[in-house]
Amino acid sequence: MFKVIEYFTCFSRPASNFPLFKNSIKAKITDYTQLENMALTNPVRVGVIGAGSFGTAIASLLAHNVEVLIYSRKEALVQQINQTHQNFNILFPDHVFATSNLQLMASTCHVLFPIVASAHFREVMQQISPFLTPEHILIHGTKGLDIADVDEAIPFSARQVQTMSQIILKETNCKRVGCLSGPNLATEILLGQPTATVVASQYKEVIDIGKKVLASSKFHAYGSHDVLGAEWAGALKNVVAIGSGLLKGMGYGKNLQAVLITKGLQEMIEFGKAVGASEQAFYSMAGIGDLFATTTSKKSRNYTFGYRIGQGEQVEDVIASSLELAEGRRTIKICRQLAIYYRLQVPVFEALYYIIVEKASTLSIVNTLIEHRQL
């Protein structure tokens, strides 16, 4: 599945001179003990912070081109990956390693892909921050939102809400930051199925490096400078995916799902306008592309979350029995307060909030879709 590659020795210098793709081949790591014993001043690999399904999928893509170091706080999982080279039933090539040491991760990886649930993202950035320098490049893959020091029960503006890029900028001294957004269902990537993504950043350098380390015959990365639009589109579509799964779980077909997705996209754009994102981002690969994949597949965590509730399960039971977090549940609570603050007419998001958070009848979403006139 993966081609054999050799590795580059990369010396500390400005990222524009980062010789990741040059022919300065020096050594090949074959034993994890060599990794731990290497000098910590010589970044030679790409790091993935997070060993969940999407982090594992990104690591598998990176392994086509570079040596990969995966961070997990779970020591047992680190040992499993290093001893068996497996995670999520995927066999890694022998140049993929794992560590629970964030200092080692930062010291030996110039390019990092943080892929951590939004609820823990800030904490992880605070933990790794002492080991980061302005030379690091961080491209996150977390499609969620966060608030800090805000009462969730009181309406708040976009100034109190942060995307993951904004958290990186706030909590670390890194400036070259970007995000991944697009139709990237982890399960399909792990199966080797082709797809594409968007690498969004203010910096062309970040886009170019992201595209190069991820490129393969089955994965293409497009570039965009609209970071805000890509991040908000990626976060908001999770809410619509919950609604689509909910309808399927209740026994409804594609007709009503299509109505929900259409109205949901319109409401996503309304939120985007309120927070200053461009409307065009929602019609891109990062917007409607990601929306279509996530709202139509049981391989989507958010779709499955909604589906199980539509089947009659309680929200708490679904959360307790889920291996990974459905980001849309957290996002919908944030969106509720934003909608009140900006006086947005977003009936689909409102109905889903009452179903998921306030435990209203699931039939309320059907009434919203059929009775509300605005399209």
Report the catalytic residues: 237
Tokens of 30: 């074959």
Q: Across the chain, how many H-helices and E-strands are there?
A: 16, 14
Burial class (CB in 10 A: 0-12, 13-18, 19+), 217: exposed
Among 255, 258, 231, 260, which Cα is nearest to 331's? 231
Count of CA atoms in the C-beta half-sphere (13 A) of 79:
3
CA-CA-CA-CA torsion sign (208, 112, 129, 332)? positive
CA-to-CA distance for 241 and 217, rounded, in angstroms? 29
Among 99, 96, 109, which Cα is nearest to 74's? 99
Burial class (CB in 10 A: 0-12, 13-18, 19+), 130: exposed
Burial class (CB in 10 A: 0-12, 13-18, 19+), 204: exposed
CA-to-CA distance for 178 and 3, rounded, in angstroms? 27
Q: Provide CB contacts within 8 A for 33, sequence distance 6+.
A: none
CA-CA-CA-CA torsion sign (298, 303, 309, 313)? positive
